[in-house]
Amino acid sequence: MNRTIARLRDAINRHDPEAMAALFAPDYRSEQPLHPARGFSGKAQVAANWTQMFAGVPDLRAGIVKETTEGTTSWTEWVWRGAHRDGTPFLMKGVTVMGVRDDGLIAWARLYVEPVEQHSAPIDEAVRQLSGTGG
């Protein structure tokens, strides 16, 4: 496993946003292609985002399902789980693609991590909705 990615997982599980931010380059760029308005730059925002996540999900745990690195690009499948302060479940799954520089700092990331639907439509209904062929 890529050492930087393992250190990121460990910092998440320690609930240490400053240790997390230390793994990112000062000019880090974050994109969420499914949510373009959520893009940002800079590692200070990483610390701010995760400080809020740890406050809202006090038992948050991160797991890595699979990780592979080729050159300076790391693909990681994540599971983030816990419970919100009100007890409702928190479960997100997905993939990040990250550029890890030679010095071990994360220069950029594209996040495809989403909340897991608790009550979703079966495949036939979902395809009808996505294709516009039925209600």
pLDDT of residue 119: 87
CATH architecture assigned to 3-131:
Roll (3.10)
pLDDT reading at 81 higher than 80: yes
Q: Predicted confidence band at 30 (pLDDT cuts at 50, 70, 90)?
A: very high
Domain map of the chain by residue range? 3-131
DSSP strand E in the chain: where? 24-31, 40-41, 61-70, 73-83, 89-100, 106-115
Task: State pLDDT tens for residues 40-59.
Answer: 999 999 999 999 999 999 99
Task: State pLDDT tens for residues 13-27.
Answer: 999 999 999 999 999
Task: State pLDDT tens for residues 57-74.
Answer: 999 999 999 999 999 999
pTM for this prediction: 0.94
- Mean pLDDT (the chain) is 97
